[in-house]
Amino acid sequence: MTPVRTRAEGSHAILYAMIAVMVFLWSANFIVGKIALREFPPALLCGLRLTIAGLFMIPVYMAQAGAPTWSRRDLPLLIGLGVCGVTLNQLFFLIGLSRTSVVHSVLIIALTPIFVLLIAALLDQERITARKLTGMLVALGGVGILRALPAQDAAPSQTPTLLGDFCVLIAAVTFSAFTVFGKGVSHRHSAITISTFSYLSGALAMVPLTLYEARKFNFTAVTALGWSTLVYMALFPSVLCYLIYYHALSRISASRVSAFSYLQPIIATVLAAVALRERVTLPMVAGGAVIFSGVYLTERG
């Protein structure tokens, strides 16, 4: 029994180590995204990011062990996951990030477990108790604090705006839907298969907007740093993190995976303060504390 238990513990340790890497790369993505948005407009950055990620996934998909199989019945859901969880999620995320601060963005993304619960409840997969409902209201109150007491004396690119916060909120909702609907698919298909379909369908959905933005964009003006941020966003928080995310979904519950988002605001806030010199104000700390309390109550309810 001991060797079996040891192997199981080792497997869980590896899984949680992978999730920790995923959380760090996603946290750093807020800062890298801010830097990339200095050189690329949001829609073009999104389209290029998805295209590179999709092209990278093709040889990974072809090289995976065994014969990758999928049926026509699965195709609409796989494409839907790509359009919702990749195209819409990352487009709204980048538009929002270009119009608000990293700290506001990451605190709003921290509401993801609540949206996961709401969507799961609508599908009769979860039950909303009085305690969970109270937690949701508390978390939304934290967002209200962020909006009622905005940061002062911030640089224009770091000043939170209502439109920016709203776009990030939409990104959180689309990723939550991606999480709930992707849970069932993750038991029938590998993380590589799901990620490949997600990024290819996401990139194809973005083609008209990508071409429109590229038509008037001066690519020769992009610096080496700009190209580096694009490659980072396409390969690490996109491909690698989504592979880890779907692998984790196939091993543990969606709510447990999404609970790791607790760490993301802390890491991203520290990185933003160091790399971007973003000010961490009292309203941000207060709003973040209330949001965390609400999400905690919701998940424990």
In angstroms, rounded to a whole number, what is the distance separating the alpha carbons of residues 102 and 241?
19
Say which residues have a Cβ less than 8 Å from residue 166's Cβ, sequence separation at least 6: 96
Render pLDDT for 221-278 as a digit per residue (tens, 0 to 9). Answer: 999 999 999 999 999 988 888 788 777 877 777 667 766 767 788 888 889 888 888 8
Quick one: pLDDT at residue 286? Answer: 82
Quick one: pLDDT at residue 228? Answer: 97
User: What would the two tokens of residue 171 be?
Assistant: 């990104």
Contact at 8 Å (CB) between 32 and 233?
A: yes
Render pLDDT for 9-31 as a digit per residue (tens, 0 to 9). Answer: 567 788 888 988 998 998 999 99
Quick one: pLDDT at residue 60? Answer: 84
pLDDT above 90 coverage of the chain, percent? 32
Quick one: pLDDT at residue 206? Answer: 95
Q: Average model confidence (pLDDT) for the chain?
A: 83
**42-67 average pLDDT score:** 87
Q: Note the pTM of the prediction, 2 decimals.
A: 0.83
User: What would the two tokens of residue 193 be?
Assistant: 């298969």
In angstroms, rounded to a whole number, what is the distance separating the alpha carbons of residues 210 and 54?
14
Q: Which residues of 246-257 are buried (b: 16+ CB within 10 A; e: fewer)?
A: bbbbbeeebbeb
> Domain residues of the chain, as ranges?
16-300
User: What would the two tokens of residue 156 be?
Assistant: 């224009």
